[in-house]
Chains A and B, each alone.
Chain A
Amino acid sequence: MSGRDTDWDGVRLHVVTGKGGTGKTTVAAALALALAARGRKVLLIEVEGRQGIAQLFDCPPLPYAERKVAVAPGSPGLPGGDVYALAADPEDALLEYLEIFYNLRRAGRALTRLGVVDFATTIAPGLRDVLLTGKATEAVRRREGGGSRRHVYDAVVMDAPPTGRIGKFLNVTAEVAGLAKVGPVRSHADSVQNVIRSPQTAVHFVTVLEEMPVQETLDGTADLREHGLQIGGIMINMVRPPMLRPAELAAAARGTVDLDELTIGLKAAGIEEGREVAGDLAVELTDHARRTVLERRERRRLAAVGQPRYDLPLIPDGVDLGGLYQLATTLREQGAA
């Protein structure tokens, strides 16, 4: 065991959502790495067929199979943990479902050729979602054989659809209920829903400090609460470190930058052409200050959600594997994992 409390100790299914462009996949991957530290085993699932995980971890496209993609850092006396990844695909999930529940693997293959699987996932729009969430909940429940009966995965992280679709995606019972009132899909959906609505599951929201993503976070958290789902943390991504003191910030936001003072400082710093560039640099400063003021306003709006918030720094050169580990460490330091 970890021997240290985190904010989400009882949670085994971490659903990560966020508006497009906020870095949802990156944060999901960083969270998986963070959860896997100290010898734990974590499964990271993507459900949208983008192969975003493979790109992040710089490995070949993921098949419909659980593959080890990274080793998380260990600590003294404990080996590093493992992150496995899976690109879940509704068609493969349906075939697997047919095999497990009906022993229909061969028929399943024939049906794929006829396009029936595509057809089935098409005529029952909720079916697609049930199959994908079903795959995640199955991994959450899976136990090792033999006497140990330990869970195979200590945690499962799902890179879920964006905020705009998350409510529908997770509210599978209602969606399927509209179609099948009884029957196997319905009971499958019910068992999926039991995991998703339990305290074992938390939905984390990734956002950046801009108006629209924050608004979607506010709307999304309210919506999921209404559906009785547990909201997890608010992951504030691409945060830039504060560069100005409050007084300077306020002055710069008003557009009053003391050019003489700036020029003298630039010269002292060894920038000979200080006077020529001071004007352009002052524009950048004002721009930054205005943005910072807005970011503070968005931060206050996020505080109203009343959930733990975690800051993830902007990595100016883009997130590579090293950046991912850095983000994972930041999440652990803040108690998210």
Chain B
Amino acid sequence: MTAPSSHTAPPGFDIDRLIGDPRTRIIVCCGSGGVGKTTAAAALGLRAAEQGRNVVVLTVDPARRLAQSMGLSSLDNTPRVVAGTDDAAGGSMHAMMLDMKRTFDEIVEAHADPDRAAQILANPFYQSLSSSFSGTQEYMAMEKLGQLRRADEWDLIVVDTPPSRSALDFLDAPQRLGRFLDGRLIRLLMAPARAGGRAYMRVLSAGFGMVAGVLTKVLGAQILRDVQTFVSALDTMFGGFRERAEHTYQLLQTPGTAFVVIAAPEPDALREASYFVERLANERMPLAGLIVNRVHRSAASRLSAARSLAAAENVDDARYPLAAAVLRLHADRMQVQARERRLAEHFTSAHPDVPVVEVPALPEDVHDLDSLRVVGDCLATAAG
């Protein structure tokens, strides 16, 4: 065995083996915003479906035209058949868009009696929590994933994670919401209502006095009353939230789950990918590989940037405008390619075991099934 050099090529990421393996039941597509997560999720789902698997793709916030290409026109939490999928191999493709408020409402309805559920759903604080709290989308995406998995109607679920600032939010936000709904402070807020005279409760109540005082100052009294009503109405469901979040979290650690990290060949996106890969390892969550999306590659790499540029300077622009333009263009492309390679090598030297596949930048945006198939083909052939 030779020691790996710093530029050892990463192992190829064999997409077809991943989606073709019947043991793969969940694929989670993660990455920072703007790298093409939704497109990758849709392309993987379509390819798997056309190879014979029964697939559902759960998207969170797709671009309008991409959603339309999958026949999705509204956030309605209902998996719909994607028309135009080739079912010759016996597979099928469904897609759905997450309705986070609806998902939250359903959890409430499932866990509280009708009266109490109605009370919770009407609470102003609940309404803002369920439609705009920053971790709610991630929590509900996880919840929906858990529901789809338990329903067991599909043999492969592909999840597109919410468009967070950081890929880590998908893992952290649900627990944050769970902790919040379940936590110490909420109990503190409820304490005056049920302080049974035990000594430590009196201490807590004193603490509560200060906390409530400050919160009232900052937020006004109404919001605190809303929170307290919400909290007491939700009392029966306590524990439920954290438990549910933990349950889905564990689902992500099972062997049937595969994480696919998506990045663009840019320093920020690859840095995010790097954090995420390390985090997955810490959490013992199964990473399948990295997709580097929208890379620029040249088929004429034997002609270097330097030589190309020198030749462009030499040639008489007026007599040979085509060659001059082509040479400058090529030099530019070689520079971009070199930079992207350096960035990818940087990632691989930190994570030498992570399989990598590159998808070339396509001239046009992806918004129909044919271009999704092209992306799928690129994913599969590039690994070879």
Interface positions of A (Cβ within 8 A of B) = 19-22, 48-50, 52, 55, 94, 97-98, 102, 104, 107-108, 110-111, 114-116, 119-120, 122-128, 162, 164, 168, 175, 178-186, 210-212, 215, 240, 243-245, 248, 257-258, 261-262, 264-266, 268-271, 273, 277, 280-285, 287-288, 290-291, 294, 316-318
Contacts and interface: CB of A to CB of B under 8 A. Distances in A.
A116 B319 contact: no
A92 B166 CA distance: 21
Contact of A284 (B307, B312, B330): B330
A185 B219 contact: yes
Contact of A270 (B125, B211, B314): B314
B43 to A, nearest CB: 16
A183 B134 CA distance: 23
Given A125-B133, A178-B128, A248-B322, A119 B210 contact: no
Nearest to B271: A55
Contacts of A270: 310-311, 314-315
Majority SS at the chain B contact face: helix
Interface string B194-209: 0000000000000100
Contacts of A265: 315, 319-324, 326
B327 to A, nearest CB: 6
A283 B219 CA distance: 61
Contacts of B21: none
Contact of B220 (A94, A102, A184, A258): A184
Contacts of B330: 281, 284
Contacts of B34: 19-22, 162
B237 to A, nearest CB: 17
Nearest to B367: A211
B306 interface: no
Contact of A180 (B61, B222, B268, B307): B222
Contacts of B218: 94, 97-98, 120, 127, 184-185
A317 B325 contact: no
B163 A164 contact: yes
Given A116-B211, A265-B324, A318 B329 contact: no
B297 to A, nearest CB: 10
B323 A266 contact: yes
Contacts, number: 205
A262 B269 contact: no
Nearest to A263: B323
Contacts of B267: 55, 318
Interface string B122-140: 0011011100111000000
11 contacts: A20-B32, A20-B33, A50-B166, A125-B134, A180-B219, A212-B365, A264-B323, A266-B327, A270-B314, A284-B300, A294-B363
Given A22-B34, A181-B222, A318-B339, A290 B315 contact: no
A195 B321 CA distance: 53
Contact of B335 (A97, A125, A317): A317
Given A116-B185, A294-B364, 15 more contacts: A50-B165, A104-B214, A180-B220, A183-B220, A185-B220, A215-B64, A243-B329, A258-B322, A268-B319, A281-B300, A284-B299, A284-B300, A284-B326, A284-B330, A290-B363
B215 interface: yes
